[in-house]
Amino acid sequence: MSKTKAIFAGLLAGLLGGIVMTTLMLLLAAFGVATPLVIIGDRLSVFISPGPFLSLMGKVGGYNHLKQLGVGSTISGQLLVVAIGGMVFGLVARRYPARLSAMWTMSIFVLLPIIAFAIALWPVLGTSYLGLPIDVARLVTLVGFALCFFFFERTLVASFQFLTMRKVAKHDYEFTPAVGRRAFVLSAIGIVAAGGGAALARKLYRAATFSYDGTQYKGRIVEPITPNEMFYCVTKNVVDPRVDVDLWHLEVSGLVQNRATWRFQDLVDLPMREQQTTLMCISNGLDAGLISNALWKGVPLRDLLDRAAPLSNAARVRFHGVDNYTDTIPLEKAMEPTTLLAYEMNGAQLPDRHGYPLRAIVPGYFGEKHVKWLTRIELTDADAKGFYETQGWGPDFIAPTRSRIDVPEYDSRFSLGELKAPIEIKGISYGGDRGISRVELSFDDGNSWRDAKIYYAGGDLSWSLWKTEWTPDAAGDYVLAVRATDGEGDVQEFEEDRGWFSGISGLHKINVHITA
Ligand SMILES: Nc1nc2c(c(=O)[nH]1)N[C@H]1C(S)=C(S)[C@@H](COP(=O)(O)O)O[C@H]1N2
Ligand SMILES: [Mo]
């Protein structure tokens, strides 16, 4: 067999193996099993600090595009690696035909990758989009890896042997035309497998988070309680979990005297608490809508922690989602009666995208801490860090007081001659878990202020809605600004000492143009 033929056969066999393996990964993903296609991205993203992360996101056109780019490059990278691997394999097999033995190829192409992937991806192996407990999920993920690598290895070896086998018939010709025909057969198989993969990819794309990740709630439509379908949404996932509650459980572990696991029904049977709480993403801009308010029903976390009896060195609580998202809160915050494990949202079962069957509600802390699809609560020491915290967000995760003008829109125009009534100004103010005691409006860019009317007071944990009427005296360009005072008497302002990645503070302003 010539060198060229060995390389060519290896390349083709490797590519076919890669296509079969990728299709199998997509199939596993469709069943909620974690595959390298997404968890490599999860593993890597904690190493990208917020600055580069935001600029990368800006360059590719948003979080959704970044995720697509992530999966796309993982698939391409995977195919590139197997193509090169196939060529090297071709050359080695030509030199040392004995190396084609199953023992040898299995070790190189199955065992070795399993070990390498298990080590490199260890922290994210316990991911399950079906909601399996973390330790079971880790095993299932590894079995999935093994299956994928096994199919790769068998396809590679079988295709290579098929391409390079000698004809035992009369003419012992090696390359043409037989190998051409065989290559054709293999390519056809490859195209069929790739077609199957593409169909699965389309199905997964439709189920993916691209259609709703980044949903905002703002403007004229804002009501005191955000309807579930309109509640803002942020997820790190390409495809969100759809938890099977029969497979799922909640673990309480770490620095506790009594470890425990809870079935869903046992949690629901505990004394419950219902409260309105507003959530806001740490990345929410002054004029943006990554903020919403809902009525949550659930169990105070304290009730579970009391039973678990935290050890004296426990200082933080780490929440784990089934999607391998984690975040931490101080133990004192976890013990507040308003820190909940919620299973209902606005009177309905928690929707899938908002964390079914159970999520954390941590009033006054940024959305990041309200871990969805919760499956483990771990008591840890003071140094524990969460997903975004490891990236470098924070260190402050307590929401500053924020207000937004929802009506009128930025750059609105009104003509004095046509105005039949005063202009209505409306919006929201949010004071973390401190509540809102006062809202003021300015029509001269913050030089003078006058009170607005709070027409919906949401309580300490949720936003308040306010409005006022404005009759401009003269034509001109106006800058409207809003500021609130929280329940502790602190007036909303730009906080100079708040770090770059601890959420923005300051006042929302809009331009309004008044003509004669
Ligand atoms: N398990 C899990 N929980 C999570 C996230 C996630 O990606 N996975 N995203 C967090 C972020 S960044 C925010 S802002 C809130 C958003 O909650 P919502 O989508 O229900 O509004 O959930 C948080 N909890
Ligand atoms: Mo967020």
Residues 247-306 pLDDT 10s: 999 999 999 999 999 999 999 999 999 999 999 999 999 999 999 999 999 999 999 999
**Neighbour tally for 57: CB within 10 Å:** 17
Percent of the chain whose predicted confidence (pLDDT) is above 70: 98
- Read off the amino acid at residue 475: A
pLDDT mean across residues, the chain: 95
Provide the whole-model pTM. 0.94
pLDDT given for residue 380 in this prediction: 97
Q: Tell me if 234 CB under 6 Å of ligand 1.
A: yes
Residue 16 contacts residue 190 (beta carbons within 8 Å): yes
pLDDT given for residue 97 in this prediction: 85
Q: Tell me if 233 CB under 6 Å of ligand 1.
A: yes
Query: Which ligand is nearest the CA of 346, by number?
Result: 1
pLDDT given for residue 45 in this prediction: 87
Q: Tell me if 320 CB under 6 Å of ligand 1.
A: no
Largest Cα separation within the chain, whole Å, is 103
Map tokens 């390349």 to a residue: 11
Q: What is the pLDDT of residues 113-153, one digit of tens each?
A: 999 999 999 999 999 999 999 999 999 999 999 999 999 99
pLDDT given for residue 101 in this prediction: 87
**198 CA distance to ligand 1 centroid (A)?**
29
Q: Return the best residue to mutate from 217, 293, 368 for the ligand 1 pocket (most ligand atoms within 8 A of CB).
A: 368
Distance between CA 139 and CA 48 in Å, rounded?
28
Residue 393 has pLDDT above 80, yes or no: yes
Ligand 1 nearest atom to the CA of residue 374, by list position? 1
**281 CA distance to ligand 2 centroid (A)?**
4
Burial class from Cβ neighbours inside 10 Å (0-12, 13-18, 19+) for residue 101 reads: exposed
Ligand 1 nearest atom to the CA of residue 231, by list position? 21
Q: Return the best residue to mutate from 39, 42, 211, 235 for the ligand 1 pocket (most ligand atoms within 8 A of CB).
A: 235
Class of CATH domain 402-515: mainly beta
Q: Please state the rounded mean pLDDT for residues 89-110.
A: 91
| H-helix segments, 96-230 | 102-106, 112-120, 134-164, 178-207
Q: Please state the rounded mean pLDDT for residues 21-44.
A: 96
DSSP notation for 238-278: SS-----TTT--EEEEESBSS-EEE-HHHHHTS--EEEEEE
Distance, C-alpha 231 to centroid of its chain = 16
**88 CA distance to ligand 2 centroid (A)?**
45
**348 CA distance to ligand 1 centroid (A)?**
19
Q: Which two tokens stand for residue 475?
A: 């034509």
pLDDT given for residue 173 in this prediction: 52
Residue 123 contacts residue 141 (beta carbons within 8 Å): no
**119 CA distance to ligand 2 centroid (A)?**
29
Q: Which has the closest alpha carbon to 224: 42, 490, 416, 467?
A: 467
Query: Which ligand is nearest the CA of 213, by number?
Result: 1
| Confidence class for position 350, pLDDT limits 50, 70, 90 | very high
356 in helix, strand or coil? coil
pLDDT given for residue 440 in this prediction: 98
Q: Which has the closest alpha carbon to 388: 364, 362, 370?
A: 370
- To the nearest 5 percent, what fractions of the chain are helix, strand and coil? 40, 25, 35
Q: Tell me if 319 CB under 6 Å of ligand 1.
A: no
119 in helix, strand or coil? helix
Nearest CA to ligand 1 atom 5: 235
Q: What is the pLDDT of residues 153-204, one digit of tens each?
A: 999 999 999 999 876 555 555 555 677 889 999 999 999 999 999 999 999 9
Distance between CA 234 and CA 409 in Å, rounded?
24
Q: Tell me if 501 CB under 6 Å of ligand 1.
A: no
Sort strands 273-280 and 291-300 into parallel, antiparallel or unpaired.
antiparallel
Ligand 1 nearest atom to the CA of residue 237, by list position? 7
**291 CA distance to ligand 2 centroid (A)?**
10
pLDDT given for residue 474 in this prediction: 95
Q: Which two tokens stand for residue 1?
A: 């067999």
* Fold match, 223-391 / 402-515: no
Query: Which ligand is nearest the CA of 292, by number?
Result: 1
Give the helix/strand (H/E) hosting 25: helix 3-30
Distances (CA, A) of 8 to 86, 158, 227, 446: 9, 15, 58, 72
Q: Tell me if 354 CB under 6 Å of ligand 1.
A: yes
Nearest CA to ligand 1 atom 15: 367
| CA angle (358, 322, 267) in 5-degree steps | 30
Q: Please state the rounded mean pLDDT for residues 90-105.
A: 89
Q: Which has the closest alpha carbon to 121: 43, 41, 28, 67?
A: 43
Torsion of CA 195, 198, 138, 233, to 10 degrees: -170
**46 CA distance to ligand 2 centroid (A)?**
15
Nearest CA to ligand 1 atom 20: 354
Q: Which two tokens stand for residue 358?
A: 């159970």
290 in helix, strand or coil? coil
Residue 44's Cβ-side half-sphere holds a number of Cα atoms within 13 Å equal to 13
**370 CA distance to ligand 2 centroid (A)?**
9
**45 CA distance to ligand 1 centroid (A)?**
16
**Is the peptide bond preceding residue 123 cis, with omega within 30 degrees of 0?**
no
Q: What is the pLDDT of residues 438-471, one digit of tens each?
A: 999 999 999 999 999 999 999 999 999 999 999 9
Distance between CA 210 and CA 67 in Å, rounded?
9
DSSP notation for 397-450: -BPPPEEEEEES-TTEEEEGGG--SPEEEEEEEE-TTS-EEEEEEESSTTSS-E
**321 CA distance to ligand 1 centroid (A)?**
10
Ligand 1 nearest atom to the CA of residue 280, by list position? 14
Distance between CA 142 and CA 123 in Å, rounded?
13
pLDDT given for residue 185 in this prediction: 92
Nearest CA to ligand 1 atom 16: 234
**Phi (first) and psi of residue 509, to 5 degrees:** -130, 150
Q: Which two tokens stand for residue 511?
A: 């331009």
- Read off the amino acid at residue 155: T
**120 CA distance to ligand 1 centroid (A)?**
25
Q: Tell me if 218 CB under 6 Å of ligand 1.
A: no
Map tokens 């935290």 to a residue: 310
Q: Return the best residue to mutate from 370, 377, 462, 502 for the ligand 1 pocket (most ligand atoms within 8 A of CB).
A: 370
Q: Tell me if 232 CB under 6 Å of ligand 1.
A: yes
> What's the fold here for domain 223-391?
Sulfite Oxidase; Chain A, domain 2 (3.90.420)
Ligand 1 nearest atom to the CA of residue 235, by list position? 7
Would you list the domain boundaries of the chain? 3-207, 223-391, 402-515
Distance between CA 367 and CA 233 in Å, rounded?
10
Q: Return the best residue to mutate from 325, 346, 352 for the ligand 1 pocket (most ligand atoms within 8 A of CB).
A: 325
